[in-house]
Chain A
């Protein structure tokens, strides 16, 4: 069951400062309205995982681990491997995260990241079948938020794509319907590079990559996933207020202009 969230822990005059500054085109950290914070991506830090990445987006820190195992396919897609995305908002990341099973925020986070990857067909799941209807490879993408300073969606999506690109599975061949491992490694069959861009509405302004304080005053947010060809492959609106039609169009437009730079950074980091 989902309920209206608690009020923001920010003093009203602080909220006013952010909104006022934004109406004059300024943000509290001196960024322009469409700038991302400093982005740093590290890959391969967790050797036991098939792939891993850690993203530092401003002070937000997210780690993603990718594990590849074998399992049963879904009955309606017997020839396809499985992608499953899970997100944990662990209590160490924020005073507002409590221990316990995933809440609606961590589930929304996982499903939005999943949507971008799935709808863009980033992973060619057809190449991950071992025996149709019996055995396929399952790709687990585990998003671990370590420090919450806003825009967990973009940070998680960047880390997820980087971890997938970093991932290596043991080379194998199928013999007598069984997986036989060979020496050497191969990457996952990645065919597309979706980038999610989150835009927040603060007052009447649209801003890219909201930090935590901006998230606390924003009235709504729109996340758009843009694939390599520039197509929109996933969207999610969040927040307590509405967006005008023009705002939605403008936000998606802004997202499509920001995606390329992020994509380049990821591809650079996984080289």
Chain B
């Protein structure tokens, strides 16, 4: 079992990462006992599984993922939703609360109209059909206000941080509600547009510097500087 690279090393597609008894994880593939990177990213080794944490990649839906999407069409029994994936998502009318079938189209518009932003969860997805989402659940449903930020879905784990450390720091320091979709869409809702602006800047900075160390502290420092060098006091911007 040979590891050709170090953990956290940056690799390009086609570079050999390991050979021998290793198993292939995400973003690598195995050919004749050798494991190669399939995307540009940082190498990680978990036990005897080798994988690459990609720098960029489109969103692939997973069951249970919270996602934020935009209604693009209304059909006979539900809505077509853009969730920033290569496949449009279907939100069946049966996956909304307290309504009875059958649904005349006019009724559907009253619930969600084209252009509405929804907080949803993926309930089904496989290779043969488009993802299915639901808005039944706590905190799900139509978004009524806030700024929408789109970042690479591969950076969402960094935005959340280990055990949520980054996202809680962000919420605390900016006083904003921040809803994170695994599909790279983030909704920021704060008491003032200034708070929201700082939160949005912080999110873009996290996306850009995701692969560097000490990011949480740097972001916190940046936010405090924006608010005039003191800790953000709930309800007031600087």
- Where the two chains meet, the residues of A that have a C-beta atom closer than 8 Å to any C-beta of B are 7-17, 21, 26, 30
| 29 A-B interface contacts by CB (under 8 A) | A7-B114, A7-B115, A8-B115, A9-B70, A10-B115, A11-B70, A11-B115, A11-B116, A11-B117, A11-B143, A12-B113, A12-B115, A12-B116, A12-B117, A13-B117, A13-B143, A13-B144, A13-B145, A13-B146, A13-B148, A14-B117, A14-B147, A14-B148, A15-B115, A16-B145, A17-B147, A21-B193, A26-B193, A30-B197
A260 to B82, CA, bound (A): 43
Q: Give the residues in chain B near A21, CB-CB below 8 Å.
A: 193
A14 to B144, CA, bound (A): 10
- Select from chain B the residue with minimum beta-carbon distance to A14: B148
Q: Give the residues in chain A near B146, CB-CB below 8 Å.
A: 13, 17
- Select from chain B the residue with minimum beta-carbon distance to A17: B147
- Select from chain B the residue with minimum beta-carbon distance to A6: B72
Consensus secondary structure, chain B interface: mixed
Q: Give the residues in chain A near B143, CB-CB below 8 Å.
A: 11, 13
- Select from chain B the residue with minimum beta-carbon distance to A11: B117
- Where the two chains meet, the residues of B that have a C-beta atom closer than 8 Å to any C-beta of A are 70, 72, 82, 113-117, 143-148, 193, 197
A14 to B185, CA, bound (A): 12
Q: Give the residues in chain A near B115, CB-CB below 8 Å.
A: 7-8, 10-12, 15
* Most-contacted residue by chain B among A9, A11, A14, A17 (CB, 10 A): A11
- Min CB distance B112 to A, Å, is 11
A13 to B117, CA, bound (A): 7
Q: Give the residues in chain A near B197, CB-CB below 8 Å.
A: 30
A8 to B193, CA, bound (A): 23
Q: Give the residues in chain A near B114, CB-CB below 8 Å.
A: 7
- Min CB distance B151 to A, Å, is 15
Q: Give the residues in chain A near B72, CB-CB below 8 Å.
A: 9
A26 to B143, CA, bound (A): 23
B148 touches A11 (CB 8 A): yes
- Min CB distance A107 to B, Å, is 28
- Min CB distance A211 to B, Å, is 15
Q: Give the residues in chain A near B147, CB-CB below 8 Å.
A: 14, 17
A173 to B143, CA, bound (A): 70
A11 to B70, CA, bound (A): 6
- Min CB distance B195 to A, Å, is 13
- Select from chain A the residue with minimum beta-carbon distance to B142: A13
- Select from chain A the residue with minimum beta-carbon distance to B144: A13
- Select from chain A the residue with minimum beta-carbon distance to B71: A11
Q: Give the residues in chain B near A26, CB-CB below 8 Å.
A: 193
A26 to B148, CA, bound (A): 17
- Min CB distance B176 to A, Å, is 14
The 8 A-B pairs with the shortest beta carbon distances in the complex, nearest first, are A12-B115, A11-B117, A11-B70, A14-B148, A13-B117, A17-B147, A11-B148, A13-B143
